[in-house]
A and B are shown apart, each in its own frame.
Chain A
Amino acid sequence: MRELKLSNIFITIILVLAAIFQFGFLSVLLPQGISVNIILLLTVLLLLEGGQEDKWWLVIAGGVLLDLFSPLPFGIMTVLLSLVAALVYFVHIRFFTNQSVYTITFLGLIASLLFRSLLLVVGYLAKAGGYKYDYMSNMWQIGLLYSLFIDLVLLVLFFIVYALFKKKI
């Protein structure tokens, strides 16, 4: 029980640090139109690699952090992240039998693509609904491929670090 609590606190700290890194550092260094969602990648990685059913709170924590730094109304990011995590989790237990780097990377990329697509749909809906600031730009297509490539690199990196850390413990 104590171990579980400590690991939960540790994971929460990691997620908060990831939010600080994502919104305060990477967003400045990356060129306009390219975005990386470390919180999404970490959430998916820990959900699929960790104790599964007892790690669903991770998705809520990740969603709240994304919502805090989102221009959209509070809660939308949590709902989107939950939908994506649930779908990826379902695909994982239904169609995959292992937790190899290929499986996690593939599912992480699917999650990233799905999350971005859902966000685009939300953007278009907001625009159609006459939302005051619709956040749409014509440049998103250019940035999407680069963003997915960076996501891929980060996923592999996170998986290696996670595997090394797990072995050490």
Chain B
Amino acid sequence: MLRSTLVKFIIAVGLVVAVGAVFDLSFLRNAIGLFSSSLFKTATSLKGESIEQLKVENEELKKKLTTLLVDYSKLKYLENENELLRRELGFVQKNNYDFISAEIIAKTDVPTGASIYFLNKGMVDGIKEGMPVVVADGILIGKIIKVEKYTSQWLPLNNNNSLVAAVIFGKEPASGLVRGDHNLSLIMEYVRRDNDIQEGDLVVTSGREEYIPAGLVIGQVVKIDKRDDKFFQTIQISSPIDWGDLTKVLIIKDIDERAETE
């Protein structure tokens, strides 16, 4: 009796693996996602409901606004003075992106500590692996890492395995690679030691990757680790976004497709 149950069980497990390998079951995830996305919103609002927390956030936002205004003026200056450089780097205008809005339907925290988010948009909506996930029309928060027919997976930028080519807007542009630091913050590596970086400098995408346009905001420099015995300096970056508060995100669609439609 037990032996026949065991045989049936092993066959059933094998069938699940085979079905999963052959068929796209993302429609099931999307069906469950219809209910879980509402719960996701409720949980997110519950998480950030504390008045004290709102006060602190308000103060932080005021500070950020001031800093961003300064950055904006810096960028305007750069825009006027370095038009040729901008063209050479292929920077695109912020409002020209072709966005697709997606809802977060689930979050998975695997025991290894990483968080992966599931979105309710997939291949049928034109989503491709490697596309940038943004908020507020241009703040990069991650990349699409897996696409199925009706759903996709988004890896946040603060994940240890995230990697994006970036440029620091300091006295002179300095390039490097931004990656997640213990799923909490961001660090930029491979920035040459002779590059003059200051705290508060703006970090944006360099546009040297497929699908990721130049000029998407990543964050601001908060700490610089510069040592004489090292060829590169390591920069700690603060993102203006709290990943835990997100329920909806935007995905920038294929740049080439956008160019064709224009």
Stretch in B81-89, B103-111, B167-175, B223-231 with 4+ CB within 8 Å of A:
B103-111
B160: chain A residues at CB < 8 Å are 136-138
A57 touches B12 (CB 8 A): yes
Q: Give the number of chain B interface residues (Cβ < 8 Å).
A: 51
B184 touches A32 (CB 8 A): yes
Tell me the chain B residues, 88-125 only, with Cβ under 8 Å from chain A.
105-116, 118
Q: Is the CB of A68 within 8 A of B32?
A: yes
If the complex has contacts A64-B16, A82-B13, are A28 and B107 also in contact, measured as CB distance less than 8 A? yes
When A68-B25, A69-B118, A137-B160 are in contact, do A23 and B107 touch as well, CB less than 8 Å?
Answer: yes
A71–B152 Cα distance when bound, in Å, is: 10
Partner of B47, one of A16, A28, A68, A123: A28
What separation, in Å, do the CA atoms of A144 and B47 have in the docked complex?
22
Q: Point out the residue from A24, A53, A57, A137 that lies within 8 Å of B114, measured CB to CB.
A: A137
Cα distance A116–B37 when bound, in Å? 26
In the complex, which of the residues B1, B32, B112, B116 contacts A123, with contact meaning CB atoms closer than 8 Å?
B112
Q: Is the CB of B161 within 8 A of A135?
A: yes
Q: How far is the CA of A97 from the CA of B46 in the complex (A)?
A: 44
Closest to B22 in A: A74
Mask: chain B, 145-180; 1 = CB below 8 Å from A; 0 = not: 110000001010001110000000000000000000
Taken together as a complex, chains A and B put the C-alpha atoms of A168 and B13 apart, in Å, by 34
Whether A105 is near chain B, meaning CB under 8 Å from some CB there, is: no
B interface, CB within 8 angstroms of A: 1-2, 5, 8-9, 12-13, 16-18, 20-21, 25, 28-29, 32, 35-40, 42-44, 46-47, 105-116, 118, 145-146, 153, 155, 159-161, 182-184, 244
**Which residues in A have some Cβ–Cβ distance to B below 8 Å?**
16, 19-21, 23-30, 32-35, 53, 56-57, 59-60, 63-64, 67-71, 73-75, 78-79, 82, 86, 116, 119-120, 123, 132-140, 143-144, 147
